[in-house]
Amino acid sequence: MAAHFKIGELVWGKMGKYPPWPGKIVKPPKDMKKPKGKPCYFVKFFGTEDHAWIKVDQLKPFQPHKEDMVKANKSKRFLQALDAVEEFINKKKVPEALTTTAIGPAAIIKRTPSGSASSFHAAPPPSTLQAACAHLTTASETGVTNHVTLGMPLASVQAADTTAANGNITPIDKRIGFLGLGLMGCGMVQNLLKTGHNVTVWSRTASKCDIFVQDGAYLGRTPAEVVSCCDITLACIADPAAAKDLVLGPSGVLQGIRPGKCYVDMSTVDPETAVDISEAVTLRGGRYLEAPVSGNKRLSEDGGLLVLAAGDRALYDECNSCFQAICRRAFYLGEVGSAARMALVVNMILGSFMTSLAEGFSLAQRCGLSQQTLLDVLSLGPIGSSLVEQKGLGILQGDYEPNSSLKHVQKDLRLAIAMGDMLHQQTPVAAAANEMFKKAKSLDQSENDMAAVYRVYE
């Protein structure tokens, strides 16, 4: 028989692979509809001040299990959460809460009170998030000074139906948020601003926002604040772990999600991560679109990326002007996970080809052939392309300024190989390429362009 808890009762809530975390059963906000599925309770977690629906079989009474839980987790954030529980008890709020009537169980949202350290400050309470919008400032008002430092076969594919015309764009009349100003993100934000979009930016490295605030962007203090203040929030993050932390971590995206808020994740992640983030956002009443991009730094600056999208089709259509600003073509691929799969396949081919190209240049040199002549032959032959010319020239000149980071290509090779394993699909060529990229990383080439895999052959 399922356990029953009362509003205000202290509990331990567990989600997936993460450790149990202290929380309190609370009454959900009126706009937080009970999700369909297995019975669960609405829990507010101590320490993170976040909240989520937790399955009833993943809940335990606080006091009877406290000793075992404390022995199993000694992380700093966990101990801070326990201090918050003790403070709550000392203020004698528990007896008042326990006099209320029991509430019935209601499916789970994958929000995890992580035990790991976070680079985010604590988010403003939900009731003050709208007020926090008043603190967003432009360069003309502040001169960019006061920044806060924050620490299975697929369904049939629908063909591309969006073509960019970067010089002729009518920007959507909505506030656009952008999280992550890395190798690709900077170019995308610049093109959004150039085409007249109302953009609010955030980066873990606050100084990266300066140039965009000078160009008219607004500055968000936390991911939660950006999401709360914007209608559609785009994000471009380095890897699955960082993408999840951005959404689920303290002061993260999930804390700013309310019914109708839109989140578009343009990071290249595995399909499982895309589905997890989608569930977390939609169970909070938000709308979700995965939209990883294919391209490199130069293409992001030129508005020449490809967008591979899946999820909320209506949201995909609403993002039309944004996609026109940052890409030359957008593809809608169906259900969530489809875009992640396509992006990994594309990048697997890219990484494998780059390894073969580097190997060919190395072999030509060993044979006493001119690498320049090889590049000329390749460029004029059937595989001639801007990719061959740019990477070949980089190898010849020893110029590995990052255009497509080696570490990110290796990450995608790894994820693609893992996807193949799950589907019992052999990927021996990609596996061999992955080993060469791993070797290049061991030679301190992670931050260089993917063409630096050539260094392995020197």
DSSP 109-171: ------SS--SSPPPPPGGGHHHHGGG---HHHH-S--PPP---PPPPPPPP-EE--TTS---
Question: Counting beta carbons within 10 angstroms of the beta carbon of residue 453, is it exposed (0 to 12), middle (13 to 18) or buried (19 or more)?
Answer: buried
Q: What is the pLDDT of residue 2?
A: 60
> 264-316 pLDDT, tens per residue?
999 999 999 999 999 999 999 999 999 999 999 999 999 999 999 999 999 99
Mean model confidence pLDDT for the chain:
84
Task: Dig out the tokens for 358 from the structure.
Answer: 């580097």
Q: Is the pLDDT of residue 242 over 90?
A: yes
Task: Record the tokens describing residue 263, joined without a space.
Answer: 């989140």
The SS3 of residue 277 is helix
Contact between residue 280 and residue 256 where contact means Cβ atoms under 8 Å apart: no
pLDDT at residue 143 in the model:
39
Q: Would you place residue 49 in the very low, low, confident or very high pLDDT band (cuts 50, 70, 90)?
A: low
Residue corresponding to tokens 């990071």: 267
Specify the pLDDT at position 194.
96
4 with 21: CB under 8 angstroms?
Answer: no
CATH for 128-336 (2.40.160.20, 3.40.630.10, 3.40.50.720, 3.60.60.10) = 3.40.50.720
* 202: pLDDT strictly greater than 50: yes
Calculate the alpha carbon distances from 299 to 69, 248, 311 in Å.
50, 30, 24
The answer to whether 420 and 426 are in contact (CB under 8 A) is yes
Q: Where are the domains of the chain?
A: 10-98, 128-336, 342-457
Q: Which of 295, 259, 311, 246 minimizes the C-alpha distance to 111? A: 246
Q: What is the pLDDT of residues 107-134, one digit of tens each?
A: 333 334 443 333 444 444 433 334 445 5
262 token code pair: 């839109």
pLDDT reported for residue 30: 67
What fold is seen in the domain 342-457?
N-(1-d-carboxylethyl)-l-norvaline Dehydrogenase; domain 2 (1.10.1040)
Beta strands, E only, 14-117 = 21-25, 40-45, 51-55, 59-61
| pLDDT over threshold 90, residue 71 | no
Q: Tens digit of pLDDT for each residue in 137-167?
A: 444 343 333 333 222 333 333 444 444 445 5
The correct answer on CATH 2.30.30.140 for the domain covering 10-98 is yes
pLDDT attached to residue 221: 95
The predicted-structure confidence for 424-433, as pLDDT tens digits, reads as follows 999 999 999 9
Q: 3-class SS at 2?
A: coil
